[in-house]
Amino acid sequence: MREMLRSGVWLTDKRRRAWCLIALVGFISALVFLIVTSSDGMDFKGRPLGTDFLNVWAAGRLALEGTPALAWDYPSHARVEIALFPKLATYYGWHYPPPLLIVAALLALLPYLASVAVWLAVTFEMMRQAARGLVFDRLAAWAFPGLFINITHGHNAFLSSALLLGGLRLLDSHPWLAGALLGGLSFKPQLGVLIPVALAAGGLWRAFGGATLSVLGMAVLSWLVLGMESWQAFIDSVPLTRHAVLEGGAIGYGKMQNVFAAARLLGAGIDLAWMIQAVSALVAAGVVAWLWRRSETMLEDKAASLVLGTLLAAPYLLDYDLMLLAVPLLLKAHGGKFRPWEISFYALLWALPLLARPFGMWLFVPLTPLVAMLGLWLLVHQAKASSP
């Protein structure tokens, strides 16, 4: 068994194609079921189609009405959601910084269901363009569970993955543009927390400059368009978000994929959980810095370290964010060279978005942090083994 996992011979082409086909048929069938059993834009469980996208559309409506700061006022935001779906049983909160509110306002010009469709189509096309020219198994890509989870949630993981993949691929040829794309991840700050570490460690100062200008540019643009009141409202909302969503476990620690939630799931108190999260982030930053500093580190390994490190460093993470795993998966598949243990590990990464929530909710096993730690250890081990 050990040798099979080490060599990856267990994952034959026939098995890979069969499992991917089963997954793809299952995902398509589930999507069709959700749509045909829906009524008035809500699925059979009483959730809006696109679920989490409702918070984007509602925030955008408030911005269009001339009250963008109310997007961070939970009662005002909730009233817009309930006005659209009177039978809504769950509140979908808006926790993003102001730059994304400009996009939300544009999307809210459309009716809700049309807006969901446009959002997913445009961001998926961005991801497809970011992957243009890469060689990989199309069936495995279409069957990747992260796609299905992001679509059903109507979420922004296609956008974050496109920015990361595009930025990484352009680091050598167009460093300023690469930095600008990576800086775009500031729309979801927890996903960009290790980008400055990686760029600085790699001595990629032009990309660092591009990222800095990108972040500042989006902040200034949102200030000019939405006003300082929006930034103040966002800043004031952060403690409430931390207490209600993270520390209060409003979403459920089994659903969340970050280290803090894993510690809480295993019984740690709030203070201890934050300490564990901080230590995890520091260790992840150290590993990312070490790997990015080495000139021998290949792009696919840099991408894997950055994504896995982010999974350990981000203070807030859900399973739709695991769409980011598509970035190292695509780059590794394009490289085509697998070292010992890597076939088995990357197969686990491919399946992780499908396994993470059930393991957390039903088995109380925080699978994502464990896999991320294993992945960083494997990257360091492989790097040391290849050193002169």
Per-residue model confidence as pLDDT tens digits over 228-257 = 999 999 999 999 889 988 999 889 999 999
Instruction: Flag whether 160 is in a domain.
Output: yes
Domain count, the chain: 1
Q: Is residue 112 part of a domain?
A: yes
First-to-last alpha carbon distance for the chain, in angstroms, is: 30
Geometric angle at alpha carbon 310, from 265 and 144, rounded to 5°: 85
User: 147-185, pLDDT tens digit by residue?
Assistant: 999 999 999 999 999 999 999 999 999 999 999 999 999
* 93 in any annotated domain: yes
Looking at the DSSP bridge assignments, the partners of residue 226 are none
Least confident of 132-136, 189-193, 384-388: 384-388
pLDDT, residue 387, reads 72
In a domain, 19, yes or no: no
CA gap 188, 115 in Å, rounded: 20
pLDDT of residue 388: 64
What span, in angstroms and rounded, lies between the C-alpha atoms of 255 and 261?
9
For residue 42, list its beta bridge partners.
39, 48
Domain assignment of residue 14, yes or no: no
Q: List, as one string, the DSSP characters of 82-115.
A: HHH-TT--S-------THHHHHHHHHTTS-HHHH
pLDDT for position 385: 87
* Cα–Cα distances in angstroms (integers) from residue 221 to residues 64, 73, 102, 178, 195, in the given order: 16, 22, 9, 20, 22
- pLDDT given at position 15: 96
Residue 298 belongs to some domain of the structure: yes
Question: Is 77 inside a domain boundary?
Answer: yes
pLDDT in tens, 267-323: 999 999 999 999 999 999 999 999 999 999 999 999 999 999 999 999 999 999 999
What single-letter amino acid sits at 235? I
Query: Do 162 and 324 form a contact (C-beta atoms < 8 A)?
Result: no
In a domain, 16, yes or no: no
The boundaries of the domain holding residue 299 are: 32-386
At 317-343, the pLDDT tens digits run 999 999 999 999 999 999 888 999 999
